[in-house]
Amino acid sequence: MNKITQTIEQIAINTVRILAADAVQKANSGHPGTPMGLAPMGHVLWTESMNYNPQNPQWDNRDRFILSCGHACMLQYSYLYLTGYNITMDDIKNFRQLHSKTAGHPEYGLLDGIEITTGPLGQGFANGVGMGIAQQYLASQYNKPDFKLFDYKIYAICSDGDMMEGVSAEAASLAGHLQLGNLIYLYDDNQITIEGATSLAFNEDVVERFRSYGWHVQSVADGNDIEAIATAVENAKNETHRPSLIKVRTHIGFGSPNKEDTAAAHGSPLGKDEVKLVKENFGFDPDKSFVVPDDVLNYYREKGNAGIQKEDEWNDLYKKYKEKYADETAEYELFKSGKLPEGWKENLPVFKPDAKGIATRKASGKMLNAIAAKLPMLIGGSADLSPSTDTTLYDFESFTDENHGGRNFHFGIREHAMGAILNGMAVTKGIIPYGATFLIFSDYMRPPIRLAAIMKIRPIFIYTHDSIGLGEDGTTHQPVEQLIGLRSVPNVMVIRPADANETVQAWRVALEHSGGPVALILTRQELPIIDQDRYAKASGLEKGAYILSDCDGEPQLILMGTGSEVHLLLEAQEKLKADSIHARVVSFPSWELFDKQDGAYKQKVFPKNIRKRLAVEAGSPIGWCKYVTDEGDVIGITKFGESAPGPEVMKEYGFSVENVIARAKAL
């Protein structure tokens, strides 16, 4: 191909292809072929379709871009560099190296312009649905007939792998149902995955599938036809009710004479000689690497700079909005900053001591409803379990296809997508999303939990029916290893409150938390409400572990526990006292919160010399050894549960006052 006869667009697109081949070759690792096939699509998005400003990547009304097939990240890195984001050619040359901004997959927070972390296929697809929901909710709250403050779109590029993963099916189904017309997804139909042709495992008609989900679907037969792609995106923009899918037939490794359309172009460098052939093919000097012709850079920078004016126009609009709608602006800016309105903590529910008590899931529902009016950005729902997880906001409507201002979400029985959607909502500044299911089904949402933790974003996961205490639903529904599983994920804060008042405090802490997701672990069964005058105040929960009830004089042993087991410890303490055994009771709702306390506080709660310690928790005992010392003991569960009335199962498994006393005495 003679470069002289190519248009600037073609040279620009080929520059991106060669950059991908060069960067992967230099790193000796990565995915060159997919960006080579996707370059025209990227070109259309970054030069024509999307509103963005490289000078202010956080512009509130920017279009969001998600590369759901994150392995193709050289595409995104190239366009961020070329259009003028804060990334240099040296960053591109450092692709996949230690501490570089250009990690192996686009990582949240490393580089301006990356909206979300992808990598596990399917996640970005579903995250976009959450971003689409958040945009619509913001619009419903703040747009006015004379001000379209938030009208941005969610663009995504997704691949065959994204389409195969179940989470995208869950999310697409919900997006179609909810009529999220702000989604514009481009499907990279290159028909190649790692093992070879997609026909090895994937023969479904994606177009028909998405039509049946209620999407607006178009096909572009030639992925190099930038006009056809641009027209399809324009049509998608004009379709404001249905989410849009544009299937684009591309060719992996386009321009590589020996690897195009083969799996060999997917996940390894093309090889030095082949990269030279690609360059020759496109009329570039085969002996030069990382070349961006000046006119290409100028061309893309100009396109990027056009965003400055777009943002300026929006800023003018915002200024006028602010003058006219001062209260709305103040509210939006407050939530956007991550703060909560003053006085939101006044009049939190207080529960009187009560031996029968209420389930912590119920207390959670009361707390949610008590604060909902003051926190309009707190929105969420459940995976078809609202009556069981107590997550309905009774004074508010549902988010439906016809009402994008509702606050109650019906995610359907789609836990995996719910998690990923919550992540997409959580990266939208101001929105505080929550989603609920049974603790056992947190297993169905592990990937988004992990990604929220990596991204240090704060969706709130509500997990009820938290132990064998749930009773008759039996073994399959009774969590055993889930608590330690969640605690083992870095940056996840797990809180298992002991009663209704601790539940209120757990919500308070969750709402004030940043830096990772929060998992609230709640019971199905009723728990006694602990007397805060007789024992310590529930606000001690914020320290993770606190002395709930001390003994006279130096304790001989420490009883510690979480959630539904704490009241057993208080009863055991009384009975031990009658036998002249001095036990301290520590309520220990959150390891993560406790681990953050200073040494003096830790020493106060767990003096080093008191080594007889008993931990009690209706879950796997793994991990408690850290707190009970080598002279302590743990009452936990090392097998699966059983179906029977909850109290019977609890007793059978050793969660009784008698057993706590026996094990304490043994110590």
Ligand X SMILES: Cc1ncc(C[n+]2csc(CCOP(=O)(O)OP(=O)(O)O)c2C)c(N)n1
Burial 572-586 (b: 16+ CB within 10 A, else e): bbeebeeeebebbbb
Sequence-ordered list of residues with C-beta below 8 angstroms from that of 225, at least 6 positions apart, any chain:
40
Q: Which residues, numbered 427-486, are part of the site for ligand X (CB under 6 A)?
A: none
> Which residue out of 415, 502, 526, 565 is catalytically annotated?
415
Quote the least distance from Cβ 189 to ligand X, whole Å: 9
Distance CA 637, CA 97 (A): 43
Q: Catalytic site residue 302?
A: no
Quote the least distance from Cβ 122 to ligand X, whole Å: 6
Sequence-ordered list of residues with C-beta below 8 angstroms from that of 656, at least 6 positions apart, any chain:
568, 650
Q: Which residues, numbered 35-74, are part of the site for ligand X (CB under 6 A)?
A: 69, 71-72
List the one residue from 193, 501, 523, 573 that touches ligand X (CB under 6 A): 193
Cβ–Cβ under 8 Å, residues 462 and 389: yes
List the one residue from 252, 340, 486, 568 that touches ligand X (CB under 6 A): 252
Instruction: Indicate the residue among 81 and 125 with the shorter CB distance to ligand X.
Output: 125
Distance CA 629, CA 667 (A): 12
Quote the least distance from Cβ 187 to ligand X, whole Å: 10
Cβ–Cβ under 8 Å, residues 373 and 348: no
Tokens representing residue 295 in the block: 């006119």
Distance CA 464, CA 531 (A): 23
Q: Which residues, numbered 256-315, are part of the site for ligand X (CB under 6 A)?
A: 266
CA of 249: how far to CAs of 12, 246, 607, in Å?
20, 10, 66
Quote the least distance from Cβ 73 to ligand X, whole Å: 11
Kindly determine how many residues on this chain lie close enough to bind ligand X according to the rule CB under 6 A.
Answer: 19
Instruction: Indicate the residue among 158 and 504 with the shorter CB distance to ligand X.
Output: 158
Cα-Cα-Cα-Cα dihedral sign, residues 95, 96, 99, 103? positive
List the one residue from 8, 89, 194, 350 that touches ligand X (CB under 6 A): 194
Q: Does 170 bind ligand X (CB under 6 A)?
A: no
Quote the least distance from Cβ 267 to ligand X, whole Å: 7
List the one residue from 121, 183, 220, 649 that touches ligand X (CB under 6 A): 121
Quote the least distance from Cβ 465 to ligand X, whole Å: 28
Quote the least distance from Cβ 198 to ligand X, whole Å: 7
Instruction: Indicate the residue among 252 and 383 with the shorter CB distance to ligand X.
Output: 252
Cβ–Cβ under 8 Å, residues 519 and 492: yes
The one segment of 119-127, 144-152, 434-442, 484-492 that binds ligand X by CB under 6 A = 119-127
List the one residue from 27, 116, 192, 385 that touches ligand X (CB under 6 A): 192
Instruction: Indicate the residue among 20 and 44 with the shorter CB distance to ligand X.
Output: 20
List the one residue from 15, 47, 135, 190 that touches ligand X (CB under 6 A): 190
Our measurement of the distance from residue 224's CA atom to the centroid of its chain's CA atoms, rounded to an integer in Å, reads 34
List Cβ<8 Å contacts ≥24 apart for 259-265: 259/33, 260/33, 261/190, 261/192, 262/192, 263/192, 263/193, 263/194, 263/195, 263/196, 263/197, 264/33, 265/32, 265/33, 265/34, 265/36, 265/192
Annotate each residue in 539-558 with x if it binds ligand X (CB under 6 A) or - if it does not, as one string: --------------------
Tokens representing residue 307 in the block: 């965003």
- DSSP for 191-247, please give it: -B-SSSBGGGT----HHHHHHHHT-EEEEES-TT-HHHHHHHHHHHHH--SS-EEEE
Distance CA 643, CA 653 (A): 12
Instruction: Indicate the residue among 31 and 279 with the shorter CB distance to ligand X.
Output: 31
The one segment of 133-141, 192-200, 383-391, 639-647 that binds ligand X by CB under 6 A = 192-200
List the one residue from 160, 390, 466, 633 that touches ligand X (CB under 6 A): 160
Cβ–Cβ under 8 Å, residues 347 and 370: yes
Give the helix, strand, coil percentages of the chain, each rounded to 5.
45, 15, 40
Return the SS3 of 590.
Answer: coil
Q: Which residues, numbered 67-96, are part of the site for ligand X (CB under 6 A)?
A: 69, 71-72
List the one residue from 40, 42, 54, 120 that touches ligand X (CB under 6 A): 120
Quote the least distance from Cβ 252 to ligand X, whole Å: 5
Quote the least distance from Cβ 130 to ligand X, whole Å: 18
Instruction: Indicate the residue among 167 and 236 with the shorter CB distance to ligand X.
Output: 167
* Owner of token pair 């549902």: 398
The one segment of 117-125, 281-289, 534-542, 562-570 that binds ligand X by CB under 6 A = 117-125
- Measured from each CB, the residue nearest to ligand X is 161
Nearest to 462 by CA among 353, 363, 599: 363
List the one residue from 102, 136, 159, 478 that touches ligand X (CB under 6 A): 159
Q: Can you give the binding site for ligand X, defined by CB under 6 A?
A: 31, 34, 69, 71-72, 119-121, 159-161, 165, 188, 190, 192-194, 252, 266
Cite the active site residues. Answer: 415
